[in-house]
Amino acid sequence: MKIRAFLVCGSFLAMLGAGAAVNLLTPDRTFSETENRYLQQLPSISAKEVFSGGFSSDFETYINDQFWNRDGWTGLKTLTELALLKKDNGRVYFGRDGCLFEKTEAYDQKLLDRNIEAVKNFIRRTESSYPSLRCAVMLIPTASEIYPEKLPPYAPVPDQRNVIGKIEKAAGKETVIDPTDELAARKDKQLYYRTDHHWTSDGAYAAYIAWSEHMGLTPVPPDGWLDKTVSDNFRGTLYSKAGLRSLPPDSIKIYIPTESNPCTVSWEGGGLDGLYDPSYLKKKDKYSYFIGGNHPLAAVTTGIKNGKTLLLIKDSYANSMVPFLAEHYEKIILVDPRYYKKSISELLEAEKTDDLLILYNVTGFAEDKSVAAGLTQ
């Protein structure tokens, strides 16, 4: 009996020792292509960090991020949870038809209210300083709002219409564009990627129709575009979080105007001849094919010679809508407050802007701490 207990205990300790040895011998990774994010590096030790609890928190994240064969263990965990009939793995919901949904906790109401207040005050200041400038705010509902029937039964998700209603009340219905009905009317199309939290070009086109009508512009009709599939092998951030390797990939489709509109994108240290960066189609982060991903500040120059400029304050959802907006402006200035730390108000003055659009997805807007900071500078 003692020998058996000794063997079990010894085997267990040997396994722990082998695991620790493998982890120590495995070089640390800086970036995870699968998860499309930077990984925690070994934190430095200081008295301040130790006593504040910051070191222990960072070290725990470091161990989790750098654990040997992390992707494989994540996949095994997901398969186990599916076998137990769980509807999520703590990070994503497993929906119908192979659709994945972000598992979003209830929004932080204080942060949400602060962001709404910042938008309201920014719009008021802007309209007061530039009476001829047209301002618009558009919050995009995510897939869980448009395809609730694909969610697992009774999966709790935040009420996104309520968020849009709150910003309408604060900033005014004449300023806020709600594309929810336009998206819902086209839900027979694939408006969102199954494996990623972004919308597709079809989703962006639906919102473009709603934006055009609000602005009193004539949208380019469906027959004014040629659709082209540029990738059949897109596995997005939700796929990475799910760890379910059996899920089929998404396709990425773009719309090209039938009437030529040569465009360029420029930002500090780089640029594109066109609105797309083909190099990303060979990478994990294929959504960055649209305008080359996120930049603090970028400028789109189009072939539409009407002298009009749009200032677009945005998150990554706007990237796939830019090709549609480019049909109505000679220049589009793109500002991402997550990375742009200068004054947006000063930029507004410097660019002699005609129109302003603030575009975020609802969840991103509710959870992004940079919104209020960016709009109050």
Instruction: Tell me the pLDDT tens digit for each residue of 243-297.
Output: 888 889 999 999 999 999 999 999 999 999 999 999 999 999 999 999 999 999 9
Name the pTM for this structure. Answer: 0.81
Phi, psi angles (nearest 5°) of residue 326:
-65, -15
User: In the predicted model, what is the mean pLDDT of the chain?
Assistant: 87
Whether 93 is in a domain gets the answer: no
Whether 80 is in a domain gets the answer: no
| Total domains present in the chain | 2
pLDDT at 22 over 60: no
**Residue 20's domain spans which residues?**
2-68
Element (H, E) at 300: strand 297-301
Whether 169 is in a domain gets the answer: yes
Distance from C-alpha of 270 to C-alpha of 266, rounded to nearest angstrom: 6
**What share of the chain in percent tops pLDDT 70?**
79
Do both 22 and 119 map to the same domain? Answer: no
Average pLDDT of 361-372? 95
164 contacts 178 by C-beta, under 8 angstroms? yes
Do both 367 and 296 map to the same domain? Answer: yes
List, for residues 120-157, the tens digit of each pLDDT value. 999 999 999 999 999 999 999 999 999 999 999 989 99
Distance from C-alpha of 157 to C-alpha of 73, rounded to nearest angstrom: 27
Tell me which residue of 192, 195, 174 sits closest to 183, measured CA to CA: 192
In the 8-state DSSP scheme, what is residue 75? H
Do both 49 and 109 map to the same domain? Answer: no
In the 8-state DSSP scheme, what is residue 252? E
Do both 201 and 308 map to the same domain? Answer: yes
In the 8-state DSSP scheme, what is residue 132? T
Do both 59 and 118 map to the same domain? Answer: no
Do both 64 and 119 map to the same domain? Answer: no
Do both 36 and 127 map to the same domain? Answer: no
Whether 258 is in a domain gets the answer: yes
Q: Measure CA 238 to chain center.
A: 11
